[in-house]
Chain A
């Protein structure tokens, strides 16, 4: 007898439907095979499913059981199919009604004791289930809040396989899903801790308000990392759709916190040994750091130490806010609207240009170090500021909260439109472009930075002073 259950697999940050077919051939010798380009974790599902079914006090059919994951051409990974496989087998062996199994989706891993364990990407799965017109989605209790965030399909959390079958059979009411608790964002590090660095703080504020990528150049220990870590705390508070996007990505990556919902902008700081696939995504079409930092901050410390190809691959996402990954297994489009903040030393030893310490780098090393940041890449950093070693000038600065208030207001002002330049500002910008040999891209960039500067001051019109300030944030790299 044949029965079909429905499950989902994740590619990129989207879920696709899989039909899990089970065939129980009566009168044959006991055997259990899974076919349909299943990877190792899926093959191991056989042991989990067998034990799970027995622990839930059902009978594992003592005949030949064949499970097919259709469409068979796609390579499937992960353990989220366990529940669907178990349900298909139970239906094929007549222990649960086939039609009931066909009506709902199932996405959970099985424990040997029959418990349902959480799986990854349940938001995307719930959305897909809704699109497929399923009547419900069986998930582990830990995934319930997450799945219900999609608001696409009724979510049936089940403690174990037995409860799942009871729900399908209409003999138990599914537990109502608790509402997602909007957690207050966790308190991140505060800008108050940063002494001095007035210019860098200002650049940080502009970056947050106008979503301008920021490059900080300064000697070791001058506070570049400290500043970057405080950026998410002053960015405009994320809107509900933005939070959903963040949650969805974290759900796929399995990094979601226990509340089932992200409540703050992500801050990702990959080590400079990160590969291209790790940075922009690609290994098995999984999202990379630039997607993990979507709507948040991607911090690249020691920028020139990164793999050159990986950095160049960042150029497109930095510009378009999304990344298209193509592999033999298929292609996916991933969102990647992250604010890129990078830090680098002025030279390999870190003391180039320091009036008090001698730089010990040879010209070749210095040139090589700077050449790692190609012109087009450098061009994508709207703000390029020097962060000098601070001799602790000035008292502790403003708190993140005060800065965030200004940023929020500017962000709302900027959302309306990009303001034009007044004639004096236009003249200043044109003159600067001639004198400083700025490219058209740089010119557009200066315009948008100037608009942010004006917005921080509560003005929609961009004046001469705004352009003058925007032009100050461009340390030349060569």
Chain B
């Protein structure tokens, strides 16, 4: 198998909008490119792919690679040494991988890697937790992998970036395509200090079938996969399934029974997934060292507030009623705790500890 042939088949697949990987694994890239239209049809290739392969046969792969390099995009075919070892364990590894960003070394890093995935439509509590988990992993030297979708995925990337750590985003489109568009800022930041990865050539537009497919890469790149919030049939559960197939740890954050966005994660827990309640749990699974001593309790009002919030998240009004504090003092104390990074609030104004 030659790397050039593999890239040609990838390009043919991308230009025809069809997944060529299955055929390539069965018949080999060389035979796909050499076979005539009749043979390809008997192999089960769709007409679009047959056309694509015919065109790709003539493609100047060396020039294509030079062009990518100029645009700051790296690529490696599965038979090449630069291909990430972590992906080779997949039974259907991508024929080629494309990446863009400052940290290509993150793909085969010796550091622990955590995939943090979950619902696109998540609760504020879920977003906050995803951010904190990612921050803790990145802060203690681990790498955070996710899918750059809205919701939990983006929160995880943001958390890792905010902690000054490394994060890898596995895309379902080309590494030069921003999708969803509202994630542009995160996309740019990841390119600057992390890595954007895709099995699809640059320029590939997002398509619905490509997103579940990229989930296997997320699972393969990570040592453990954490699902933060997921409905009963969430894409995040596909990632968890892949992780299970690969023998990696599957972890989940529990949610209140009966709430839609907890159904998926609670299902994972029932099936035996590891339970993640906070950043320390996750760092424990990954074998990352965290400062063991919790920071000392602050004095005065803040201590009371923090202790109350450790029991349960609460609205300022509830704290005022429970602690018998004047609203002004409660507000001041909460701000101090927030500035110290001990607590955070959601859009409804509910405070919780991290």
Question: Which residues from chain A contact B338 at a C-beta distance below 8 Å?
Answer: 471
Evaluate contact between A472 and B331: CB separation under 8 angstroms: yes
- CB-based contact B335/A196 at 8 Å: no
* Cα–Cα distance between A456 and B331 once the two chains are bound (Å): 15
- Are the CB atoms of A353 and B350 closer together than 8 Å? yes
CB contacts (< 8 Å) of A457 on chain B: these are 328
Q: Write the chain B residue with the least CB distance to A473.
A: B331
Q: A199-B320, A353-B124 are in contact. Are A388 and B331 (CB under 8 A)?
A: no
Please encode chain B, from 106 to 136, with 1 for each CB lying within 8 Å of some chain A CB and 0 for all others: 0000000000000011011100000000000
Q: Check A394 against B348 for contact (C-beta < 8 Å).
A: no
Q: Point out the residues of chain A lying under 8 angstroms from B280, CB to CB.
A: none
A83 interface hit (Cβ, 8 Å): no
In the assembled complex, B346 has its CB within 8 A of some CB on chain A: yes
A466: chain B residues at CB < 8 Å are 332
- The CA-CA distance from A363 to B121 in the complex, in Å, is 7
A359 closest partner in B (C-beta): B121
Contact A388 B348, beta carbon cutoff 8 Å? yes
Whether B349 pairs with A363 at a CB distance below 8 angstroms is: no
Question: Least Cβ distance of A406 to chain B in Å?
Answer: 11
Contact of B347 among A197, A353, A471 (CB under 8 A): A353
Contact B321 A393 (CB under 8 A): yes
User: B208 contacts the other chain (Cβ, under 8 Å)?
Assistant: no
Contacts A198-B327, A218-B348; is A465 near B332 (CB within 8 Å)? yes
Chain B residues whose CB sits within 8 angstroms of the CB of A196 once the complex forms = 317, 321
- Enumerate A392-414 residues with CB–CB distance to B below 8 Å: 393-394
Q: Is B178 an interface residue when CB atoms closer than 8 A count as contact? A: no
Closest CB in chain A relative to B25 CB, distance in Å: 36
Give the shortest distance, in Å, between B339 (CB) and chain A (any CB): 6
The 8 Å CB contact of A346, one of B334, B335, B347, is: B347
Which A-chain residue is minimally distant from B337 (CB atoms)?
A: A468
Q: Mark B270-281, 1 if CB is under 8 A from A, else 0.
A: 000000000000
Interchain CA distance A41-B120 in the complex, whole Å = 60
Q: Is B63 among interface residues, defined by CB-CB distance under 8 A?
A: no
Q: Choose one: B121, B124, B339; the contact of A431 (CB below 8 Å).
A: B339
Report the Cα distance A393→B335, complex, angstroms: 22
> Contact residue range for chain A?
35 or more
Task: Give Cα A217 to B124, complex, Å.
Answer: 15
Q: Decide: B315 and A432 in contact? CB cutoff 8 A.
A: no
Contacts of A197 in B (CB 8 A): 317
B162 to chain A, nearest CB (A): 11
- Chain A residues with Cβ below 8 Å from B334 are 472
Contact assessment for A362 and B348 in the assembled complex, using a CB-CB cutoff below 8 Å: no
Contact indicator A475/B349 (Cβ below 8 Å): yes
* B260 in contact (CB, < 8 A): yes
Instruction: Specify which chain B residues have a CB less than 8 angstroms from the CB of A390 in the assembled complex.
Output: 317
Q: B residues within 8 A CB of A362? A: 121
6 A-B pairs besides A363-B150, A476-B347 with CB distance below 8 A are A355-B125, A386-B350, A436-B339, A465-B332, A469-B332, A475-B349
25 A-B Cβ contacts within 8 A? A196-B317, A198-B316, A198-B327, A199-B315, A199-B316, A199-B331, A201-B327, A217-B347, A217-B349, A352-B347, A352-B348, A353-B124, A353-B348, A353-B350, A355-B123, A367-B182, A386-B345, A388-B315, A393-B317, A394-B320, A394-B321, A468-B333, A469-B329, A469-B332, A471-B339
Question: Using a CB–CB distance below 8 Å, which chain A residues touch chain B?
Answer: 196-199, 201-202, 217-219, 346, 352-355, 358-359, 362-363, 367, 385-388, 390, 393-394, 428, 431-432, 435-436, 453, 456-457, 465-466, 468-469, 471-473, 475-476
